[in-house]
Structure 1
Amino acid sequence: MRRIKINQALSYILLTVWSVIVLFPIWTLLINSFKPQKEIFKDPFGFPKNFTFDGYIAAWKTGRFDLYFTNSLIVTVLSLTLILLVGSMAAYALAKWKSPAANFLYVFFIAGLMIPIRLGTIDLVRLIKALNLQDTIWSLIPVYVAMGMPIATFVLTAFIKELPNEMFDAAKVDGASEWQVYSRIVLPLMRPALATVAIFNMIKIWNDFWFPLVFIRAEEARTVALGVSLLFGQYRTDWTRALAVLSLAAVPMLILYILLAREFIKGLTAGAVKG
């Protein structure tokens, strides 16, 4: 009993230390976004003495970050919708289709987890030019969907395979079509797995800097990640505005996690409590 208590105490201590390590940069970012430039360098870890919203006001009035946030939101929502829709349908087919071809397609999708998509940047640029999508936010969506499909297929296929076949057989005996089984039975049960896929992919899409940098030059099509990079100059940086924008950029991910946290935890622990 005493050994168990010691192990629990050590676990709590390690978790506390790890939480401090993770939260400290976020805390520093947030408090410095409310400080004037000089105070950031004078006391970067203390509470603001001259509390100001100048950085947030400047970001929206002079930096066109309202446009950048709108662009990122459109790209992220559309990409996630397509990833979850197409990924769930592909996972359902691969999980229930008993054929060597299904195994081949599953391995084909999983191979995407091991191949960095940036290796195909030159070919992607040529493809985007051929489709006349360069300098538009629409050039990013097919790339992000391709990035998200491997992990979506992997997670969702594994989840569907754990569902009992008797449930599908009973639905078909009652006259349900494949589409009805998918939409009315499989999709509601997949909510924890869908939440896991959504959170993993949103972080990558929202924070991506590489593909907006390569595909987009027009200001009206810039995303948040690309817009933030413009605040860091070679010789001078407005740190108050830069930190304010970075704080705002974290809000959508925080909101999504709060909304999906319960389903996300269910998805991560589903296999651990089985049996």
Structure 2
Amino acid sequence: MILLSFKSLGGIVGHPLRWPSHWYVSNYEEAWQEGNLLDYLLNTTFVAMISVTVISFLSSMAAYAIARFHFRGNQFIYLMFLAGLALPIQMIAIPLFILMRQLDLLDHLASVTIVYIASGLSFSVFLLVNFIRNIPRELEEAALVDGASYWQIYWHVVLPLIRPSLSTVAILNFIAAWNNFFFPLILLTNPSRMTVAVGVMFFVGQYATQWNLLLPALVIVTLPTMLAFIVVSRQFIRNIMGGAIKL
């Protein structure tokens, strides 16, 4: 994809496997300007960051309550979160569309943000519950003896200890929100509010595709997720392995 992005349209179509004879760096400038990529990147960054922040906060609180407090319905609530892993959210696309229309949220970034948060909670809670259950209870009991409230225990004891697993939750949900194509396609219609996954498809026409612009655009929109994963890759792999052992 990177090599083809530096070719002309004729070179891409005629000789896709040949090394570029001339490097068309201008493809990137043209794709950036014609594709309105800056607006798409800002929209997607806003949606992804809000989603990741809310998912991390809500899932950690829910996981703490499920893992540490025994009350009527505790296991049922946990099973309801697990049930979310078995149900592809695309199956309820029509009810979601009707709901967003009734809430007057169609064609607003809030609609896809809410969907991302709801769809990301199940796996996040499932992952964090298993990490919290492996935290020694003695640490929390010592905090209780010192007069700490449950909120203070959650904030000052539990959160710092599960920070590595929270980074796993964050990167997985960030990539999912960044790459999601389905819900922005059905919930957003204004081109100025599109996310990058849908925005780059404007280079694809009914009868022709601007490959010399589409490929540079794909390279540009892929870079943020690649950089994010490179930054946290070591932590991510270590947490996945640790979670597999604990499960």
TM-score range, shorter chain: over 0.9
Of 218, 235, 257, the match for 2:229: 257
Choose 161-170 or 264-273, whichever is displaced more.
264-273
TM-score by length of 2: 0.94
Cα offset for 1:271?
4.5
- Aligned equivalents of 1:271, 1:135: Cα separation in 2: 38
1:232 aligns to 2:232 (yes or no): no
Aligned to 2:130: 158
Q: Report deviation, 1:45.
A: 3.1
2:183 to 193, 203, 211: 211
Unpaired runs of 5+ residues, structure 2, are: none
Q: Render the CA deviation track for 1:33-65: whole Å, top value 9, x for unaligned.
A: 111112223332343221112221112212211
In 2, are the aligned partners of 1:224 and 1:249 still within 8 Å (CA)? yes
User: Which of 1 and 2 has higher RCO (CA within 8 Å, sep 6+)?
Assistant: 2
Q: CA RMSD in A?
A: 1.5
Matching of residues 68-147 of structure 1 within 5 Å: 68-147=40-119
Q: Which residue of 2 aligns with 1:179?
A: 151
CA contact (8 A) 1:33 1:244 kept: yes
Q: 1:271 and 1:109, CA in 2 relative to 1: closer, same or farther beyond 3 A?
A: closer
Task: Determine the structure 2 residue equivalent to 1:194.
Answer: 166
Structure 1 gaps of 5+ residues are 1-28
TM-score by length of 1: 0.85
Choose which of 47, 51, 56 in structure 1 pairs with 2:19.
47
1:104 maps to amino acid:
F
Task: Answer yes or no: is the 8 Å Cα contact 2:35–2:202 preserved in 1.
Answer: no
Letter aligned with residue 186 of structure 2: V
- The structure number with the bigger radius of gyration is 1
Contact 1:192–1:263 (CA<8 Å) still a contact in 2? yes
**C-alpha spacing 1:271/1:211, structure 2 compared with 1 (3 Å):** closer
The CA deviation at 1:273 is 6.5
Aligned residue number for residue 141 of structure 2: 169
Query: Hey, what's the Cα distance between the residues in 2 that align with 1:51 and 1:264?
Result: 36
| Alignment partner, residue 220 of structure 1 | 192
> SS where residue 50 of structure 1 aligns?
coil
Residues 72-115 of structure 1, C-alpha deviations (whole Å, 9 max, x = no match): 11101101111111011110111001134111100011100001
Q: For this pair of structures, how many residues does the alignment match?
A: 246
